[in-house]
Structure 1
Amino acid sequence: MSQTTQAVVQSLVERAVKLGDRQLAADIRAFAAQRQFGLVFEHNRPERLRLYGKPVMRGDTVQVLPARGEKENADSQLLWRVTSLDGQTAQLTPYKSVSYDENNNEDCSVAVEDIVAVAEYDQPIYTGLKETGRIERGGDRPYQVVINGENYHALETLAFSYAGKVDCIYIDPPYNTGARDWKYNNDYVDGSDAYRHSKWLAFMERRLKLAKQLLNPEESVLIVTIDEKEYLRLGLLLEQLFPSATIQMVSSVINPKGVAQKNGFRRADEYLFFVMVGDSSPVKLQLSDEWSASSAKASAGKKKGAVKLGWTSMMRRGSHSHRHERPGLYYPIFADPEKHMIVQVGEVLPAEQHAGVDIDGLVQILPLRRDGSEGCWQVGPSELRSRIEQGRVKLGSKTNYGYVVNYLPDGEYAKVTSGFYKVLGRAEDGSLIAETEESSDMAIAPTQWKIASHNATEYGTGLIQSLIGRNFSYPKSLYAVEDTLRFFIASKPNALIVDFFSGSGTTAHAVMRLNHQDGGQRKCVCITNNEVSDEESKGLLKQGLRKGDPQWEALGICQYVTKPRVTAAITGKTPEGDPIKGDYKFTDEFPMADGFEENAVFFDLTYADPDAVELGVAFEEIAPLLWLRAGSRGSIIKHEQPGFAMADAYAVLFDFASVGAFIDAVKQNAGIGCAYVITDDTARYASVKAQLPGLDVVRLYENYLQSFKIAAEDAVR
């Protein structure tokens, strides 16, 4: 029930009480408790997910696949329980459930290769990731990640690594046009399905609830594209799921010629919902005349002028911004108020000490939040001293809680080193003075976009053809996605972006483009599947194939489009090894054959059975999840090792007998930002955490399975 509805109900109750009719007041309360207000649909509509790739075990719930070359039918939707396995044969008994078919009441024997495990959406699933390839051209830069798998389970899996850490989620979900463009319970949904709207809402709600867990609650944005078929229902759903967020809808022209609609106007645009969480809001950017609804007037008053460097506060915001979370980033900075400059950087203060020792004539500045609580700086003392020498730090304005300390983030400083900004010199405090000759008009975009570069035919379909010579239905314009993201992550050079309806991989491509422009190290995690279209499936069926066959899987979205597209974008070469023809246009023009200095890794989502591994999920299956949480940089610790193991960005303690050497090794390696402790003993874990202040110290149970079962159960609430 919404807050508005609650207020109305309460008002009616109070009026009934004033009239002396307490029974009426009770009846109103009872009626309100039983009614569902707002968007009404079947939230609990069953959604069964086939676990392709999971080894079938005794006790599994399964479905029997249709014979090769045959379509899905009523029999292939029936549920069975595996009672025993004998070599390559499984004994099945009908699964007694709410949807039990009375006509399906006889046991049967089926070849194991003809059955697939099935799970309801709310069952705990034990997942892992299996690497299927990588591209490395970016040195020590973080990796762009592509995951092939069911996005509901992939989102559950990412909750371990990224809960509360994601800066931006961009999704282009199925539009539910009625043209069999998406599946529910392994069957395409068409316009004749009386429940298609309810199915779509249930499908979206489950995934958006998981997505909400990933978003940084202090400042992040969810961006959802949609067309006229579901935009009204989507808007209501977003209002219900994100009641405290600021939600705005934008209309964007993606095909100026328009697409013919039966008995209607030609459709030229689609819509974007922006769900701005916490302090999130679009930033002002340099916008061309075509962004304005009255470009002639805008250009007439537009002037050219010097654009100065974009300084930002040294105070850490968002996740892990309190002192107890990053104790190594709490220290004093000393400034001379007469010269208005920083003159000294103190050392990290012990936990029991709240301020440094005062120095005569200097003002001590601590990372105190507006509410007076202790926060932390963006970087440690030694890194800050280095940045002061580079001219990247200066004293800002005075406030009622001290001075603001400003610094140049990596993206802005990259513009200096690349020559985008011309360095004019240094100020008296040593900070850089630089500017570039650009339009001085910085603006927030309007809610109607008619931008030439957003043409989906030319810069979506056509671009994919240039990159990999293959077709993909309805891809977004690369530049449209790039512009959309820019409003929220242009000032975040280390932003984390997730797209769980990734399709052809446009979001990852756009993130790499943004990194190329400002030297940022943004990371994108793309989740896609390996489905083929309805039309393609008909052709494959005629060839006597079915899902799971190598020839079928080779034409799936991930294998045929997403992985080749991301690879081509980085390497600058087509799948055949030829240089890509053509140039990137608009904001950042250069030959596509140059590629990007980026890294990418590809994973398949895997499933493990609780009884299949004696101690739970094999370490190899969860190893990539530990690496993702540590920042997706450097190498992955892939196997258990005696004592402990260290990679570029994280370390794992396997045997507590080696705890002393583990702690010493971690302290001596400045690159380690995350430490995993495998133990069932809470006191042991707390001891390690206390000795590694400033690090993300995470406990894994000795039974790895237990660690990830808990994550899955949390995710479905």
Structure 2
Amino acid sequence: MSQTAQAVVQDLVDRAVKLGDRQLAADIRAFAAQRQFGLVFEHNRPERLRLYGKPIMKGDIVQVLPERGKKEDSSSQLLWLVNTVRGGVADLKPYQSPSYDENECEPRSVAVDDVVPVAEYDQPIYAGLKETGRVERGGDKPYQVVINGENYHALETLAFAYAGKVDCIYIDPPYNTGARDWKYNNDYVDGSDAYRHSKWLAFMERRLKLAKQLLNPNDSVLIVTIDEKEYARLELLLESVFPNATGIQTVSITINKNGVARGNQFKRADEYAVFCFFGTATPCQVDRRLYSVEFGELEKKVADDASSSRSQRKVRWEWLLRGGSNSARSDRPNLFYPIYINERSRTIEAIGDSIPREMDYHAVPGVDGLRAIWPIRPDGREATWHMSQPTLKQKLDKGFARVSTYDEKNDRYTLLYLANIQEDRLAKGELKIVGRRDDGSAILEAVGEATAIPTTVWSGAQFSAGEYGSRYIKRFLGHRSFSFPKSLYATELSIASVVADKPDARIVDFFSGSGTTAHAVMRLNHQDGGRRHSISITNNEVSEEESKKLTKRGLRQGDPEWEALGICQYVTKPRVTAAITGKTPEGDLIKGDYKFTDEFPMADGFEENAVFFDLTYEDPDAVELGVAFEEIAPLLWLRAGSRGSIIKHEQPGFAMADAYAVLFDFASVGAFIDAVKQNASIGCAYVITDDTARYASVKAQLPGVDVVRLYENYLQSFKIAAEDAVR
């Protein structure tokens, strides 16, 4: 029932108790429990989820796929129980379920390749992750994570790693316009479906309940974008699922100022972002110059200590290594020279002379005790610095040049400088120096009036979905396309408005589509030096039109040719990779600059890391017996902060990574505890044991460390997720 209805019922109960009539109070409660108030909808038959990729085992519930070249029909929706598996054949018998139409067919034997396991949404599954690729340019920064899998099960999986630890969830779910752009029970939902609103609400409610487990109840925000088709129902649903929200507010975003025709209706020019705040979370002060447009009439900053501290934003530093066009050594040979740094103090100690164009820089003598940094790209190409030696010396003397991150894997340092536009802002009083780093470089922050809280109407040019959504996809991916991508800058502002003051924020998107959320998070980090990281969940579905073409060719989901055209493989992964590397999937430099104050060549990419996973389905018995460590190893890494190396295999005694440690053999517990205590970067310790007392002993000796028992915590996490789904 809604919060208002709950309050009315509770008021009646309180009155009955005051009158001394406890039986009446009990009757009121019983009556209320039998009825729904507020948002009422059909929850439909339980949602079935196909488990593509799961090995077929005895006892599985499955569906039989149609013959290759034929489309699915009602027979492929029937449920079967796997009686035995012999070689490549599964013996099936009809599965009798009260939730679905009865299967009255005769038992049959089917090739294993022609069946797919299914599970109802409230059945526990045990998932793992399989790495499918990575890109690394961010040194020791946390990784941007992309997971290819069914989002309901991926959310259950994240509950093990991130329960109560997520700062922001941003989602762009199906808008349920009737255009057959989303599926319920493996069937597209269209405008003729009388239950399409109920299906959408049931679909969303189940995922929001899982999302609720991830959000930090003391300080976090959920953002859901939607249009007018389900806007009103969404707000009621959010009230129902999140009665603990401290506030729910809706922002209107103009995504097409000319509007899109709606038949004989008003042209649609905007959509909505619904913000749900939890605990102490509130909107952030946002730097107005960051976007170079007005949000409307912005609220004036209240000049008190709390708002002043919130308005202070780190100022962006530029890469000293030149990117984009006119950046090769041959273009400007005078800007090819060495910069000598002290690796121990991370300081710039000297600036060398330019060398002749034909001279090999390896032949230049070194300087004792210092390391020479040349303008060399990660791929080995010779480039140039952004400025001449005298200009760089001036920057260095003022504290406006410095050594930044070190990429240990590639043995590379990043050098930064403060652009002239930022120095101008400092001269105008828009920025101020608030301190100095150990290397003498300046720490700057924006002065109060440069920031403000956005209003509930966003109508700037940067929110155009066509210009900065669809066209940006083509810019990064060439001929590849994606239906209705969000404007990068609209997503960026949505997220910035709630985590601008959290440089280490964790952001989850479980309808990530083309990967705009990950892209936006990386841009935010680029602006203020943050280490925010995102977890983007998408599936690898193809469009209905593409599905028909592939089916006619005799292909199925799971075939390499089919999977290559899915959302994750074809759009999400290459888009995130391109954003980081500055290159299209074909290897060409991305043309153009980012806009709205944070302007730099897209070809420069980002100093970020990203890793890509496929969701897998594991046998819980194998996990409990400890023979599936490799499959759940990435989950341990996720829980530890998604940074550094992954412990991929079992090792004698124990193993240590950058951020966590795993005790495999309790005989090594003493050395394990000592090693963890001596390494301040270890924030999570996993103990493989079925002995509760042993686990408790380790936990007691490692205060301040997240000590997790394997495999009990892993198995219990999925059981809890399944139980919460039906509450």
Give the TM-score of the pair, scaled to structure 2: 0.78
SS of alignment partner, residue 207 of structure 1: helix
Greater shift after overlay, 22-31 or 269-278? Answer: 22-31
Moved more, 263-272 or 93-102: 93-102
Task: Specify whether residues 111 and 584 from structure 1 end up closer, same or farther in structure 2 by C-alpha distance, changes over 3 A only.
Answer: same
Percentage of identical aligned residues: 73
Q: Structure 1 pair 711/611, CA: closer, same or farther in 2 (3 Å)?
A: same
**CA drift at 1:707:** 4.9
Contact 2:687 2:695 in 1 (8 A): yes
Q: 1:604 aligns with which of 614, 621, 626?
A: 614
Matches within 5 A, 1:121-132: 121-132=121-132
Residue in structure 2 matched with residue 135 of structure 1 by the alignment: 135
Residue 263 of structure 1 aligns to which amino acid in structure 2? N
Q: Report the CA distance between 1:291 and its aligned residue.
A: 3.1
Give a deviation string over 1:526-568, Cα, whole Å, max 9, x none: 0000001112112222222221221111100000000000000
Residues 15, 542 of structure 1: alpha-carbon distance in 2 compared, 3 angstrom cutoff: same
Number of the residue aligned with 2:114: 114
Q: Does 1:65 align with 2:65?
A: yes
User: Offset at 1:105?
Assistant: 2.9
SS at match of 1:141: coil
- Give the counterpart of 1:291 among 284, 294, 297: 294
| Residue aligning to 1:463 | 472
2-structure distance, mates of 1:210, 1:573: 36
Q: SS state of the match for residue 614, structure 2?
A: strand
Q: Quick one: which amino acid aligns to residue 240 of structure 2? A: Q
Secondary structure in structure 2 of the residue aligned to 1:440: helix
Q: Which residue of 2 aligns with 1:533?
A: 543
Listed as ranges, the gaps of 5+ residues in structure 1 are 302-306, 313-409
Query: Distance between the aligned counterparts of 1:26 and 1:660, measured in 2?
Result: 56
Q: Confirm or deny: 8 A CA contact 2:91 2:108 kept in the other structure.
A: yes
Aligned residue among 442, 447, 460 for 2:451: 442
Question: Partner of 2:380 in structure 1?
Answer: none
**How far, CA to CA, are the matches of 1:632 and 1:658 in structure 2?**
26
Matched residue type, 1:506: T
Q: SS at 2:260's partner residue?
A: coil
Equivalent position of 2:262 in the other structure: 261
User: Aligned runs of 1:329-348 on 2, under 5 Å?
Assistant: none
Post-superposition offset of 1:42? 2.7
2:243 counterpart of 1:240: no
Q: For the residues of structure 1 that align with 2:98 and 2:123, how far apart are their CA atoms?
A: 16
Distance 1:227 1:100, change over 3 A: closer
Q: Which residue pairs with 1:499 in the alignment?
A: 509
Over residues 610-653 of structure 1, what are the superposed CA-to-partner deviations in whole Å (9 max), with x where a residue is unaligned? 45667166000110010011111111001111110011111000
**Hey, what's the Cα distance between the residues in 2 that align with 1:617 and 1:704?**
16
Q: Distance in 2 between matches of 1:20 and 1:649?
A: 59
Q: Deviation at 1:35?
A: 1.1
Correspondence 1:700 to 2:710: yes
Partner Cα separation in structure 1 for residue 82 and residue 487 of structure 2: 47
Give the Cα–Cα distance (whole angstroms) in 1 for the partners of residues 547 and 123 of structure 2: 29
Q: CA 1:97–1:169 in structure 2 vs 1: closer, same or farther (change >3 Å)?
A: same
Query: Hey, what's the Cα distance between the residues in 1 that align with 2:639 and 2:30?
Result: 46
Is the CA contact (8 Å cut-off) linking 2:579 and 2:602 kept in structure 1?
A: yes
Give 1:402-413 correspondences, 5 Å limit.
none
Q: Give the aligned partner of residue 191 of structure 1.
A: 191
Q: What is the deviation of 1:24?
A: 7.8
Counterpart Cα distance in 2 of 1:116 and 1:424: 61
* Aligned counterparts of 2:567 and 2:228: Cα–Cα separation in 1: 25
Q: Residue 461 of structure 2 aligns with which residue?
A: 452
- Could you tell me which amino acid in structure 2 is paired with residue 538 of structure 1? K
* Contact 1:225-1:271 at 8 Å conserved across structures: yes
Aligned positions of 1:485-564 closer than 5 A: 485-564=495-574
Match of 1:278 in 2: 279
Q: Quickly say closer, same or farther: Cα 1:212–1:417, change in 2 above 3 A.
A: farther
What secondary structure sits across from 1:113 in the alignment? helix
Letter aligned with residue 462 of structure 1: R
Q: CA separation in 2, counterparts of 1:15 and 1:667?
A: 57
**Is residue 57–residue 609 contact of structure 1 (8 Å, CA) maintained in 2?**
no
Q: Which amino acid aligns with 1:153?
A: H
Q: Which residue of 2 aligns with 1:216?
A: 216
Q: Does 1:162 align with 2:185?
A: no
Q: Is the 8 A contact 1:584 1:590 kept in 2?
A: yes
Tell me which residue corresponds to 1:625. 635
CA contact 1:159–1:715 (8 Å) conserved in 2: no
Give the Cα separation in 2 of the matches to 1:683 and 1:145.
35
1: CA distance, partners of 2:445 / 2:692: 55
1:291 aligned counterpart, secondary structure = coil
State the Cα distance separating 1:698 from its structure 2 match.
Answer: 1.2
Are 2:662 and 2:686, in contact at CA under 8 Å, matched by a contact in 1?
yes
Pair 1:106–1:264, CA change in 2 (3 A): same
Q: Distance between the aligned counterparts of 2:270 and 2:581, measured in 1?
A: 33
Contact 1:146 1:601 in 2 (8 A): yes
Going from structure 1 to structure 2, the CA distance change for 1:4 and 1:669 (only over 3 Å counts) comes to: same
Gaps of 5+ in 2: 302-306, 313-404, 406-413
In structure 2, do the counterparts of structure 1 residues 84 and 598 end up closer, same or farther at CA, with 3 Å as the change threshold? same
Relative distance call for 1:644 and 1:14 in structure 2 (3 A) is closer
**1:475 alignment partner in structure 2:** 485
Q: Deviations over 1:151-177 (max 9, x none)?
A: 111011111111111000000000011
Does 2:625 align with 1:615?
Answer: yes
Deviations 1:38-65 (A, max 9, x none): 1111346310000000000011000001
Report whether the alignment pairs 1:686 with 2:689.
Answer: no
Residues 610 and 616 in structure 1, CA contact (< 8 A), matched pair in contact too: no
Q: 2:293, 2:415 → 1: CA distance? A: 25
Shift of 1:694: 1.8
Q: How much does 1:5 deviate?
A: 2.2
Paired amino acid for 1:555:
L
State the shift of 1:239 in Å. 0.7
* CA-CA distance at 1:669 after TM superposition: 1.8
What do the CA deviations read for 1:552-599 (whole angstroms, capped 9, x no partner)? 111000000000000000111110111111111113111111111110
CA contact (8 A) 1:309 1:434 kept: no
Q: How far 1:440 moved relative to its partner?
A: 2.1
Structure 1 residues 21 and 73: alpha-carbon distance in aligned structure 2, compared to 1, 3 A threshold: same
**Secondary structure, counterpart of 2:687 in structure 1:** strand
Cα distance in 2 for residues equivalent to 1:704 and 1:437: 45
Query: By how many angstroms is 1:23 displaced?
Result: 8.8
User: 1:12/1:543 Cα in 2 relative to 1: closer, same or farther (>3 Å)?
Assistant: same
RMSD over aligned Cα, in angstroms?
3.3
Q: Measure the CA separation in 2 of the matches of 1:290 and 1:68.
A: 54
What does residue 231 of structure 1 align with? 231
Task: Read off the aligned partner of 1:265 and give its amino acid letter.
Answer: F
Tell me if structure 2 keeps the 8 A contact 1:149–1:605.
Answer: yes
User: 3-state DSSP class of the match of 1:266?
Assistant: strand
Maintained 8 Å contact 1:572/1:594: yes
Helix, strand or coil for the counterpart of 2:267? coil
Q: Structure 1 residue 25: deviation in Å? A: 7.2
Residue 665 of structure 2 corresponds to residue 655 of structure 1? yes
8 Å Cα contact 2:308/2:448 also seen in 1: no
Aligned in 2, Cα 1:7/1:628: closer, same or farther, shift over 3 Å?
A: closer
Aligned-residue offset at 1:100: 5.0
* Equivalent residue pairs, number: 610
> What secondary structure, in the 3-state scheme, does the structure 1 residue paired with 2:261 have?
coil
CA distance in 2, matches of 1:471, 1:613: 40
Does the residue aligned with 1:510 lie in a helix, a strand or coil?
helix
Q: CA deviation at 1:124?
A: 0.7
How many angstroms apart in 1 are the aligned matches of 2:15 and 2:687? 59
Whichever residue aligns with residue 470 of structure 2, its letter is T
1:396 match: none
TM-score, normalization: structure 1?
0.79
